[in-house]
Amino acid sequence: MNQIGEGYVQVGRLNPSISFYINEKTEHKVVIKRILITQGFKELAVYKRINQLCLNGVPKLLDYWMDERYLYLKISHMAGISLNRIHEPSHAALKRHFIDRFDQVIFFAEQMLKNFHRTGYLHLDIKPENLMLDETLNLTLIDFGVSAASTEQQTNGGTLAFMAPEAVHMTAPVDELSDAFSLGMSLKYVVEGEISRLSRSGLERLSELCHQDKKLRRY
Ligand SMILES: Nc1ncnc2c1ncn2[C@@H]1O[C@H](COP(=O)(O)OP(=O)(O)O)[C@@H](O)[C@H]1O
Ligand SMILES: [Mg+2]
């Protein structure tokens, strides 16, 4: 038996930090995320809080261990594709479905984020790579590598193209609204070029999330 657990075999590897395993008996899929110990404790803390609250819409931490250099997180596998792959030709049907049902998508995406914020953490790196989308248009949030407690004043950055103006320019403290902005920008990334196909209410909701002026953002 390895540390991953009895019956699990590796079925893929995205990069040196992310490997996919399946239990041959139960068909249960898990992800092993390897992080430098010096950087991994924040993500571990977020996962512990997620487990405590039994939150849906995010992976669960199933186990963790360490060696001299790395922390290993065994987390539940989220179905679907990361949102950055939505423009690939093989996902055209899913993309069309996403656009056709945009009102529903944006509603559930916001619920999912509000649910995550119950942990008391801000994600601070919401972007298409860190959102998983399944066939039923369910969106889940992954990667808590730069998350910070909402009471913390200091943050560790994020990804420029999706960051809220106050996070980029440090003109105001980041908070839940800053995450909501990044979520809006990630949804916009999918519908860009197809705006005319969105419903009026979907479009209005999207522009509220992505408002440059934080005071005017509604979340
Ligand atoms: N729980 C998961 N379920 C399915 N895929 C995952 C999961 N965690 C990570 N991945 C895949 O691995 C990629 C990188 O994972 P992530 O946690 O974002 O690592 P990094 O901190 O290196 O960005 C994601 O974009 C996604 O494709
Ligand atoms: Mg990531």
29 lines ligand 1 (CB under 6 A): no
Cα(127) to centroid(ligand 2), Å: 8
DSSP-derived 3-state class of residue 71: strand
Number of neighbouring beta carbons within 10 Å of residue 182: 27
The reply to whether 71 and 88 lie within a common domain is: no
Q: Ion ligand 2 — residues with CB under 5 Å?
A: 129-130, 143
pLDDT band at 1 (very low <50, low <70, confident <90, very high): very low
Cα(133) to centroid(ligand 2), Å: 14
pLDDT single digits (tens) 90-139: 999 999 999 999 999 999 999 999 999 999 999 999 999 999 999 999 99
Mutate to test the pocket of ligand 1, among 18, 56, 64, 85 (most ligand atoms within 8 A of CB): 18
Contact 31, 19 (CB under 8 A): yes
Answer whether residue 145 shows pLDDT above 90. Answer: yes
- In this prediction, residue 170 carries a pLDDT of 87
The reply to whether 180 and 110 lie within a common domain is: yes
pLDDT single digits (tens) 9-54: 999 999 999 999 999 999 999 999 999 998 999 999 999 999 999 9
The percent of residues above 70 in pLDDT, for the chain, comes to 98
**Structural domain boundaries, residue 72:** 2-76
CATH number, domain of 103, equals 1.10.510.10
Cα(216) to centroid(ligand 1), Å: 32
11 lines ligand 1 (CB under 6 A): no
- In this prediction, residue 186 carries a pLDDT of 98
The reply to whether 64 and 129 lie within a common domain is: no
- In this prediction, residue 2 carries a pLDDT of 62
Q: Which of 51, 76, 101 is the last residue of a domain?
A: 76
CATH number, domain of 46, equals 3.30.200.20
State the Cα–Cα distance between residues 70 and 68, nearest whole angstrom.
6
| Element of type H or E holding 52 | helix 37-53
Overall size of the chain counted in residues: 219
Please name the residues in contact with 114: beta carbons below 8 A apart, sequence gap of 6 or more.
Answer: none
How many domains is the chain built from?
2
Number of neighbouring beta carbons within 10 Å of residue 133: 26
Q: Which residues pair with 33 in a beta bridge?
A: 18, 73
